[in-house]
Amino acid sequence: MSDTTQVLTINRLGARGDGIADTPEGPIYVSYALPGEVVRVSIPAPDPHTGRAARSSTGRAEARATLIAIETPSAQRQTPECALYTRCGGCTTQHMEETTYREWKRESVVTALTRAGINTPVDALIDAHGTGRRRVTFHGRRKNDEDAIGFMAARTHALVPVDHCPVLDPDLARAPQVALDLAKLLLPKGKPLDIQVTATDAGLDVDIRGHGPAGEALRRILTGAAERLDLARLSLHGDRIVERHAATIAMGRGRVTPPPGGFLQSTALGEETLARLVMEACAAASTRIRRTADLFAGCGPFALRLAEIAEVHAVESGAAALAALDRAFRAAPGLRRITTEERDLFRRPLLPMELNQYDAVVFDPPRAGAEAQSHEIAKSKVPLVIAVSCDVGTFARDAKILIEGGYTPQRITPVDQFRHSSHVETVGVFTRAEIKKRRR
């Protein structure tokens, strides 16, 4: 069976920014299409063995079409800013004009909450792109004896070579060339590479994954390359090869040197915005905040700011991140005490008897959310809980747990630091209402 060509009318936008055509046979997803547009598409034939539609990256069957032409464009369509758009899989919404984009991204939070049974107002989307993303990961590949670095095409493992990316911070302007120069030293070994480049106060910080351990000869070669490329730090699988300058990031009054490859908010303005919302919630609390817990604390983007007003207990599973936080705290002036605890909060969340000593709890988990920890918070007496999340689905799940445990949402704010993507950060502020009597 061969692919078929159809003309469709796009009715709505999906959660990932796809245009969706509602047909008698079910929804058909079309990337880069907008509501109201009439488009000509190619629809893949069903699997010849099963007769079923192709499966998405999530494993679910879905009808997905490839855009061939736009017969009737939407007034909400704009010209993409990047020449690689639709080829590179990094951005998915450069064709949306600003108002449509902002409404769609905010609505993704509203929809997730509604599906979880939560009916509460959601603030307008805050633009936190700032000067651009301060961290990027390039993929390095060798094909036909040629070395290349770039991003992956959408829904494939095909490499799209990149020498410029408009969503990156200007401090990363030379990052593609740096990544390619380093890849040329390592790709002859035959292994594909992931090259993470971060803009720090002292210059570029690079961590390379995929090669394996470096012997003494390679370490000397990479040290020379770091000197030639004027890198602040160069690491291989988190193993520091050379640190020519302290690869610091300013966080409040602290200056943190994150561990190689360690987590960092995507944009500087994104981190500042999330922290500002956390601090505003503490300032608006009905009682004075004296002691706080920062769960999934990382290397301290919230803890180092919270310590300006209260004592902080930072809990994180990564020892290297906690060590970076502790060093920054000890060198920062005028902060209240920060204590740290290495602990896997997925397997061993803080219990109510531990939580009850705090006036406020902040948690910012990975994409999987904080389900186990949310259940324990819901059983606690903490008066103020601030949830920060990079995934609207797990945020809604965790928020529902808190609400069912007696918390009331005071403010839900979506924050956009991942411009031109479907990702959105969400900050939720919850206060303790009267504890409901639970049925036995």
DSSP 348-372: SPPPHHHHTT-SEEEE---TT--HH
Specify whether 66 is located in the same domain as 170: no
Q: For a pLDDT cut of 70, what percent of the chain falls above it? A: 94
Specify whether 292 is located in the same domain as 422: yes
Whether pLDDT at 78 is above 70: yes
**pLDDT on residue 434:** 52
Domain presence at residue 87 = no
User: First and final CA of the chain: distance in angstroms?
Assistant: 58
What is the C-alpha separation between 228 and 233, in angstroms, rounded?
A: 12
Whether pLDDT at 50 is above 80: no
Domain presence at residue 151 = yes
Whether pLDDT at 2 is above 80: no
Specify whether 365 is located in the same domain as 294: yes
**Backbone φ and ψ of 179, nearest 5°:** -60, -40
Instruction: Give the catalytic positions in this structure.
Output: 390
- Give pLDDT tens digits for 242-265: 999 999 999 999 999 999 999 999
**pLDDT on residue 213:** 87
Q: Is the pTM of this model over 0.75?
A: yes
**Backbone φ and ψ of 147, nearest 5°:** -95, 140
Whether pLDDT at 46 is above 90: no
**pLDDT on residue 60:** 46
Specify whether 62 is located in the same domain as 104: no
Cβ contacts of 148 within 8 Å, gap of 6 or more: 140, 141, 142, 159, 161, 180, 183
Which CATH number goes with the domain that contains 415? 3.40.50.150
Query: What's the Rg (C-alpha) of the chain?
Result: 24
Specify whether 32 is located in the same domain as 159: no
Which CATH number goes with the domain that contains 43? 2.40.50.140
**pLDDT on residue 55:** 43
Domain presence at residue 401 = yes
**pLDDT on residue 376:** 98
Amino acid making up residue 129 = H
pLDDT band, very low/low/confident/very high, at 59 (cuts 50, 70, 90) = very low
pLDDT band, very low/low/confident/very high, at 48 (cuts 50, 70, 90) = low
Domain tally, the chain? 3
Task: Look up the domain containing 50 and give its range.
Answer: 4-77
**pLDDT on residue 389:** 97
**pLDDT on residue 146:** 87
Segment among 140-149, 333-342, 403-412 with least mean pLDDT: 140-149
**Backbone φ and ψ of 429, nearest 5°:** -110, 125
Whether pLDDT at 238 is above 70: yes
Specify whether 271 is located in the same domain as 353: yes
Whether pLDDT at 57 is above 60: no
Contact 361, 386 (CB under 8 A): yes
**pLDDT on residue 190:** 74
pLDDT band, very low/low/confident/very high, at 58 (cuts 50, 70, 90) = very low
**pLDDT on residue 53:** 54
Specify whether 306 is located in the same domain as 421: yes
Partners of 128 in the beta sheet? none
Specify whether 124 is located in the same domain as 173: no
DSSP 97: -
